[in-house]
């Protein structure tokens, strides 16, 4: 089950990875073509510039408008064992047929009723069914008279018929289910900042094992994140609502309260974790401090600029899980504080300075209260620095550079040729080609399914630069940072694993 959830979470990362670019287009285009922005900065009122900004805004909006289909495609691409292109085609066909079935049934039986938008839930349902049918039937042999429709051609056909049934089921069950989601969202809203705290705390805890992708999409893209009417259209999901308001030139006042599912990230990612990095660096013995300066500066800047926190979190997660729980608690408190201060900054996928600038500063303090992030961030920097310094010294946590072995080395960037050679070595350390069932990777983790976890040489893999190696059942996660995807590609090529 753990491995399946890992794969689902990773599959979602494929389409979600598109969002930063779409967010940049929508953020810059929407902000600089906004009537209030033009009034404040008249030099922007140039037809040529406004045409460019309008195109940018439209280009970004179309991505968010079709996010459910993109999630369906990502799920199929991520979970298909072979011939992924056919699986994606089947998923798209299924998604279109499912929605067409719902629309047809509404027109027949409930022409005056509200439209049904299954959003990410429908995407998950039809994407899962499409990939299941693909993995089972992509090599099916039909009778000779129907032979043309055999093999991979059969998959989109059977998926389309299955999608008719799925659409009919959604037509029957979605209205009450939708109301249930709305009630759940209202329940969280009634909890107020306490509910926001639990959202941030639990999501960060799940991030330790890479399962946070199973949590936040339900709040970002479904009724759990709120329901609002923007520019005459009913929008569901915290992120969808935020970007709809961002694209609406007539929107005034603070952005939706759904931004409470984003705003707490900025203090942690831009200030708190860099403070933790400084604390760990300061505790490195002076004779080795220069050797580790670049390492800690790199992970701190990564967190500050992009909001990608895994590189720094893996420095202490495995050597001190309790410290990670403390970090998760502080992150939850950051969400709590942002909520009570009415900080209303949205984001694409992270809480780094890029999103902070686009969706905080450029939108104006009147809409976002972004200025409050600065004093909160200063407090969070000091808090993380103090807590990490105390805890590491008190319990002698072996963070990088504090180990007794003075000969330890900091992983360095290697050439393409050495990556290739190292991949061959990693295959042997994983128990050899015959022990490897599947290989994959996310941003920082090499994820491998093996037959026998006991055949994996964890210590030797660590010696090759892995921050740590996590074993759950027959699933292996080796944290290599940015090199993980390079190792994955090389290993897949050597083993002949079909992408």
Q: What are the structural domains, with CATH classification, of the chain?
A: 2-207 (no CATH), 416-495 (3.30.1360.60)
Residue that wins the pLDDT comparison between 223 and 7: 223
Reply yes or no on whether the pLDDT at 456 is more than 70. yes
At residue 280, the pLDDT reads: 93
- Kindly report the CA angle at 124 between 118 and 125, in degrees rounded to 5? 75
Reply yes or no on whether the pLDDT at 232 is more than 90. no
User: What are the tens digits of pLDDT across the range 287-345?
Assistant: 888 878 888 888 888 889 878 787 788 788 877 889 999 999 999 999 999 999 999 99
Section 247-264 average pLDDT: 85
Select which of 91, 362, 439, 442 is catalytic.
442
- What is d(CA 260, CA 335) in angstroms, rounded to the nearest whole number? 7
Across 392-406, b (16+ Cβ under 10 Å) vs e yields beeeebebbbbeeee
At residue 471, the pLDDT reads: 84
Residue 17: pLDDT band with limits 50, 70, 90: low
At residue 16, the pLDDT reads: 67
The torsion region of residue 67 among left (phi > 0), alpha (psi -120 to 50) and beta comes to alpha
Tell me how far apart the terminal alpha carbons of the chain are, to the nearest angstrom: 22
Reply yes or no on whether the pLDDT at 225 is more than 80. yes
At residue 406, the pLDDT reads: 41
At residue 409, the pLDDT reads: 42
Q: What percentage of residues in the chain have a pLDDT greater than 90?
A: 32
Active site residue 442: yes
Q: What average pLDDT does the structure give for the chain?
A: 84
Residue 408: pLDDT band with limits 50, 70, 90: very low
Which of 64-68, 428-432, 439-443 shows the highest mean pLDDT?
428-432
User: What are the tens digits of pLDDT across the range 348-383?
Assistant: 767 888 789 888 998 889 999 999 999 999 999 999
0.95 cut: is pTM over it? no
At residue 413, the pLDDT reads: 42
Going by their DSSP bridges, the two strands 436-441 and 445-450 should be labelled as antiparallel
Reply yes or no on whether the pLDDT at 36 is more than 60. no
At residue 263, the pLDDT reads: 93
Q: What stretch of H or E contains 133?
A: helix 119-137
Residue that wins the pLDDT comparison between 307 and 384: 384
At residue 184, the pLDDT reads: 64
Dihedral of CA atoms 189, 190, 194, 196 in degrees, nearest 10, equals 0
């Amino acid at each position: 089950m753990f491995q399946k959830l890992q794969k689902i979470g990773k599959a979602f990362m494929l389409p979600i990875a598109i969002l930063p670019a779409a967010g940049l287009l929508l953020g810059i285009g929407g902000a600089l073509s906004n009537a209030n922005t033009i009034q404040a900065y008249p030099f922007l009122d140039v037809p040529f510039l406004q045409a460019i900004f309008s195109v940018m805004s439209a280009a970004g909006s179309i991505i968010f408008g079709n996010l459910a289909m993109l999630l369906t495609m990502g799920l199929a691409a991520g979970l298909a064992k072979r011939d992924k292109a056919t699986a994606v085609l089947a998923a798209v066909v299924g998604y279109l047929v499912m929605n067409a079935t719902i629309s047809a049934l509404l027109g027949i039986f409930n022409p005056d009723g509200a439209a049904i938008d299954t959003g990410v839930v429908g995407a998950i349902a039809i994407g899962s069914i499409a990939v299941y049918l693909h993995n089972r039937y992509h090599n099916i042999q039909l009778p000779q008279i129907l032979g043309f429709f055999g093999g991979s051609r059969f998959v989109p056909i059977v998926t389309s018929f299955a999608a008719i049934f799925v659409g009919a089921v959604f037509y029957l069950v979605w209205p009450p289910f939708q109301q249930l989601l709305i009630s759940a969202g209202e329940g969280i809203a009634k909890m107020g900042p306490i509910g926001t705290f639990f959202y941030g705390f639990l999501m960060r805890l799940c991030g330790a094992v890479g399962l946070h992708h199973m949590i936040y999409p339900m709040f970002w893209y479904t009724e759990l994140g709120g329901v609002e009417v923007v520019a005459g259209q009913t929008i569901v999901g915290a992120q969808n609502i935020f970007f709809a308001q961002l694209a609406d030139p007539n929107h005034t006042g603070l952005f939706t309260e759904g931004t409470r599912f984003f705003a707490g990230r900025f203090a942690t990612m831009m200030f708190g974790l860099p403070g933790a990095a400084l604390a760990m660096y300061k505790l490195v013995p002076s004779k080795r401090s220069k050797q580790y300066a670049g390492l800690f500066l790199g992970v701190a800047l990564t967190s500050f600029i992009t909001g990608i926190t895994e590189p720094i979190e893996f420095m202490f997660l495995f050597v001190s899980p309790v410290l990670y729980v403390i970090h998760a608690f502080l992150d939850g408190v950051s969400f709590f504080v942002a909520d009570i201060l009415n900080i209303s900054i949205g984001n694409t996928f992270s809480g780094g300075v890029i999103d902070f600038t686009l969706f905080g500063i450029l939108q104006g303090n009147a809409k976002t209260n972004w200025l409050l992030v600065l004093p909160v961030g200063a407090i969070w920097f000091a808090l993380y620095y103090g807590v990490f310094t105390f805890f590491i010294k008190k319990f002698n946590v072996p963070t990088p550079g504090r180990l007794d072995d003075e000969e330890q080395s900091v992983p360095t960037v290697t050439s393409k040729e050495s990556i290739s050679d190292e991949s061959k070595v990693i295959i042997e350390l994983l128990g050899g080609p015959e022990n490897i069932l599947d290989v994959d990777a996310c941003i920082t983790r090499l994820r491998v399914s093996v037959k026998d976890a006991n055949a994996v040489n964890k210590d030797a893999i660590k010696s090759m630069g892995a921050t740590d190696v996590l074993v759950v059942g027959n699933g292996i996660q080796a944290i290599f940072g940015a090199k993980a995807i390079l190792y994955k590609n090389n290993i897949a090529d050597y083993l002949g694993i079909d992408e």
